[in-house]
Structure 1
């Protein structure tokens, strides 16, 4: 995990999706991402990106908290040759933590996968309120 990058000006917005906090939103986000990637010639496979985005959207749905109506926001950016994916939810940034679950635990591996597969990842306060968890995949664009 890294600190939230301060290169905000270097991001080129590519797309966004606003989802209801229901489990059916995870496959919807995956379909939308596949549609997005069809428009770009990517230099790397999207499979890892799909897995990581799915894990973060699932975490946002499971752990997001709000007294009122809320949504999960997924945003994609190009940052040079890298792909940056952000997932925003109304949860509390301090609650994002990397766990090392035991073999018998059925849950708790999402951020561990993000930590292992992403070139960089971070979490912090979202500009929309709540939490953002994001990852960066280097060399996605030729």
Structure 2
């Protein structure tokens, strides 16, 4: 698993927009993101582990809520895309890309493992400036659809 800087678009495959949700930057939005992702992707017949995707979405939305910063009102946006046979999920927030990093959490810390989980479960992930301003953290699951 690796932190990539681009994404599947650079491989000559045009992403196909599947859906999105916009959330308030509050803790309750994490559970809402999990429910909505399951509901809205169910008709697409994903061949990958939806539960693994839900865990990664939970971690990235939690990070967006905890670490997003803006002087004005802002929202967390979650988008999902089909890129060939892969699923890409983007989580946009108002934070700064330079602040996205994996860290070593101490055994007694309750936070600090989110990106490590994403790194372990995703085929790739990236952090970069968002087209909405702020940051987008994305993960990709290869072979999310059967060919």
Alpha carbons of 1:6 and 1:141: their partners in 2 closer, same or farther (altered >3 Å)?
closer
Corresponding position of 1:26: 30
Q: State the SS of the aligned residue for 2:44.
A: coil
Output the TM-score relative to the length of structure 2. 0.93
Does 2:88 align with 1:73?
no
| Offset at residue 38 of structure 1 (A) | 1.4
Does 2:41 align with 1:37?
yes
Runs (5+) with no aligned partner, structure 1? none
Corresponding position of 1:2: 4
Contact 2:46-2:145 within 8 A present in 1 as well: yes
Q: State the SS of the aligned residue for 1:66.
A: coil
Corresponding position of 1:93: 97
| Offset at residue 6 of structure 1 (A) | 6.5
Cα distance in 2, alignment partners of residues 80 and 89 from structure 1: 26
Contact 2:8-2:83 within 8 A present in 1 as well: no
Cα distance in 2, alignment partners of residues 129 and 18 from structure 1: 15
Output the TM-score relative to the length of structure 1. 0.96
Q: CA RMSD in A?
A: 1.2
